[in-house]
């Protein structure tokens, strides 16, 4: 990679034509190309102190109250999958982004882009699923928008939700607050959502169905906060999975992270599906999992709280933040050697053999 000069405002496209004249699927894959797109185009154009924190949700102060604000779009195929659907995911995903800023989620917006011809019944199922998920999360959907596009110009339905939450504590939760010695926790087994989707898409059949881990995580986070756990940073493990989340934090915090392959929980069926398809489970998306950077003294207590929460039984410590400041993530391999845990380039592509 050639060294990139900081972007100055100019009329020219910051991603030179010579590299990628068109948007590729990989630019949305959660890997390095997506980060380059966001960094060089969106951050450069919109840059302001709140956006520049590059957090899952922005934290702003409005008349003395601290609020978190975020948005996310949902384009998942198939729309219904084992363990969830696009509707519940559109609620959980945005609720979780707010939770990553340590906020109590309150209100959501919901915008539908619907393709002409979508059966009403399908839409109703999705809407009901959103309603139920919102109720379960204790949030209200208070505004929305509906657009219909020509047949062939959409893919069933795309949903965007934005969310607002309120921050009721004094802790500063952001990548920049990660400290040397912090314990790195994950809230459960990784890679399940992505493999559930992949199994349906590719018609893979296993003895038992792999179910998505799609779930809200805000209650677990609020419990950690209530117990006074010193949380330095939180990040959900969505696109790009654990590796993207850890690399993003390492980069934003300029800290070296050390994790141990043997400690990272991956369910056996997920591991098997990944082996068959040649994918790395650490790069596969979750929809109900997060990484937490916790002050070392508090890690045992935090673990107890996470494990007592529904779906949190698999929570564990996977590594720690090192004294080094190299913005890299290192993994101790199963046989004890050390290597980089790198972010994928674009989407993971299944290999030949």
User: Could you say which of 2, 10, 63, 208 contacts another protein (CB under 8 A)?
Assistant: 2
Cα 237 from Cα 221, distance rounded (Å): 14
Given candidates 32, 104, 232, 235, which one binds another protein under the rule CB under 8 A?
Answer: 32
Q: Which of 5, 12, 17, 19 binds another protein (CB under 8 A)?
A: 19
Residue 199 binds to another protein (criterion: CB under 8 A)? no
How many residues belong to the site for another protein (CB under 8 A)? Answer: 37
Contacting another protein (CB under 8 A), which of 13, 23, 60, 128?
A: 23
Task: Return all residues near 332 (Cβ < 8 A) that are at least 6 apart.
Answer: 258, 259, 260, 261, 262, 338
Per-residue interface string for the shown chain with another protein, residues 275-314, x marking contact by CB under 8 A: x-xx------------------------------------
- Rule CB under 8 A: say whether 349 interacts with another protein: yes
- Residue 85 or 248 with smaller CB distance to another protein: 248
Q: Is 342 a binder of another protein (CB under 8 A)? A: yes
CA distance 95 to 238: 13
| Subset of residues 66 to 125 that bind another protein, contact rule: CB under 8 A | none
Q: Does 352 bind another protein (CB under 8 A)?
A: yes
- Identify which of residues 7 and 272 has a Cβ nearer to another protein in the complex: 272
- CB closer to another protein out of 102 and 241: 241
Q: What is the dihedral of CA 96, 81, 37, 247, to 10 degrees?
A: 60
Residue 334 touches another protein, criterion: CB under 8 A: yes
Q: What does the alpha-carbon distance between residue 131 and residue 183 come to, in Å, rounded to a whole number?
A: 36
- Could you give the string, one character per residue 231-270, with x where binding to another protein holds by CB under 8 A and - elsewhere? -------------------------------x-----x--
| Residue selected from 117, 138, 144, 350 as contacting another protein according to rule CB under 8 A | 350
For position 17 contacting another protein by CB under 8 A, the verdict is no
Could you tell me the CA-to-CA distances from 44 to 6, 33, 176, 228, 249 in Å, in that order? Answer: 9, 15, 20, 37, 19
Q: How far is the CB of 346 from another protein (least distance, A)?
A: 7
Site for another protein, rule CB under 8 A = 1-2, 19-20, 22-26, 32-33, 36, 202, 262, 268, 271-272, 275, 277-278, 328, 333-340, 342, 345-346, 349-353
């Amino acid at each position: 990679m050639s060294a990139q000069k900081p972007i100055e405002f100019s009329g020219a496209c910051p991603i030179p034509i010579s590299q990628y004249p068109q948007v590729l699927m990989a630019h949305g894959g959660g890997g390095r190309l997506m980060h380059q797109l966001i960094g060089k185009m969106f951050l450069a154009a919109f840059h302001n102190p709140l956006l520049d924190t590059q957090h899952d949700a922005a934290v702003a102060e409005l008349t003395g109250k601290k609020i978190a604000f975020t948005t996310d779009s949902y384009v998942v195929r198939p729309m219904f999958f084992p363990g969830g659907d696009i509707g519940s995911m559109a609620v959980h995903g945005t609720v979780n982004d707010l939770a990553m800023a340590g906020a109590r989620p309150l209100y959501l917006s919901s915008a539908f882009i619907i393709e002409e011809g979508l059966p009403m019944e399908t839409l109703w199922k999705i809407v009901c699923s959103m309603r139920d998920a919102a109720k379960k999360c204790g949030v209200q959907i208070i505004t929305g928008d509906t657009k219909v596009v020509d047949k062939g110009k959409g893919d069933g339905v795309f949903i965007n939700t934005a969310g607002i939450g309120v921050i009721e504590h004094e802790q500063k939760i952001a990548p920049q607050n990660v400290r040397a010695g912090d314990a790195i926790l994950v809230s459960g087994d990784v890679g399940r959502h992505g493999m559930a989707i992949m199994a349906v898409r590719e018609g893979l059949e296993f003895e038992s169905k792999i179910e998505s881990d799609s779930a809200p995580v805000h209650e677990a986070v609020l419990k950690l906060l209530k117990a006074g756990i010193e949380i330095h940073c939180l990040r959900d493990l969505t696109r790009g999975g654990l590796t993207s989340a850890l690399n993003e934090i390492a980069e934003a915090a300029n800290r070296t992270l050390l994790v141990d392959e043997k400690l990272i929980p991956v369910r056996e069926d997920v591991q098997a599906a990944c082996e068959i398809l040649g994918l790395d489970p650490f790069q596969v998306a979750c929809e109900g999992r997060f990484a937490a950077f916790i002050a070392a003294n508090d890690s045992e207590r935090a673990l107890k709280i996470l494990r007592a929460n529904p779906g949190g039984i698999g929570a564990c410590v996977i590594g720690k933040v090192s004294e080094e400041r190299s913005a890299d993530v290192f993994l101790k391999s199963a046989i004890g050697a050390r290597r980089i845990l790198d972010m994928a380039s674009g989407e993971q592509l299944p290999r030949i053999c």
